[in-house]
Amino acid sequence: MLVLMIFDSSCAGCHRPGPVLCRTCRFVLAAPPAMPASGDVIAAVPFVGRPREVLLNFKYGNRRQLGHHLAGLVVNRLVANGVGPSEIDVVTWAPTSAKRRHRRGFDQAELVARRVALQLGVPCRRLLRRDGAAPPQTGLDRATRLHGPAFTASPAARGRRVLVVDDVVTTGSTLRSATHALRLAGAVDVVKSAVATTPAIVADRRRVPVRPLARRAASPTVVPGPRAA
């Protein structure tokens, strides 16, 4: 007897019919080449090849199911760099423009940040507001990108150790601006993280060690790894 399997979805990495992320692509994402800290940004994967395809589908193809898996990659990279739940008080994100959020129906950085917070077991709060006059970074030339968007941070950041999450880092200007705003609002420390970074960031910047945050009394914590969506 012939059984036909009909899939109404395809893999975001290789586009084969099946789950949103096939076994092969999950393995590729979970075992990227060695990723040094990009400046002082902790990124999970390089923005090339299969990871790039997955992220583009996540952002522009409305593949929100990928958020949990991408967050797991970020959490694993953070823990590998010595940043765990005992070093974080709150997780936030670098918000996209209101126009982009409306067009896509969601903010990709927010979705990942909330999943990262859930897996770390720490609160997630909206601490940053993007200047409405600032254009989106996508599509701008490198010189313009270096200036970055402007952010205003909530007073709720005062006295907190903040993990700020973005989806893709190119020049790093977005996270620098976000960090500046959080510090102005009184954040005692900020860790910058992203799902992916362009190879140019790793190649062009001097390696700056990631400074561990002040530790609380640690308790054994099990961080779940990425799961198939």
Query: Mind listing the pLDDT tens digit for each residue in 164-222?
Result: 999 999 888 999 999 999 999 999 999 999 999 987 554 444 333 444 444 444 444 44
Is domain 35-204 annotated with CATH 3.90.1010?
Answer: no
Residue from 53, 58, 127 nearest 88 by CA: 127
Could you give the CA distance from residue 155 to residue 22 in angstroms, rounded to a whole number?
42
User: In 3D, which of 172, 177, 192, 188 has the Cα closest to residue 74?
Assistant: 192
Which three-class secondary structure state does DSSP give residue 129? Answer: strand
Q: Are 127 and 156 in contact (CB under 8 A)?
A: yes
Tokens, residue 158: 């005062």
More confident residue, 35 or 195: 195
pTM greater than 0.85: no
Neighbouring C-beta atoms of residue 199, cutoff 10 Å: 12
Tokens 């902790």, residue? 42
Closest CA to 160 of 133, 117, 189: 189
Question: Tokens 């199911």 appear where?
Answer: 65
Q: Helices then strands (H, E): number in the chain?
A: 8, 6
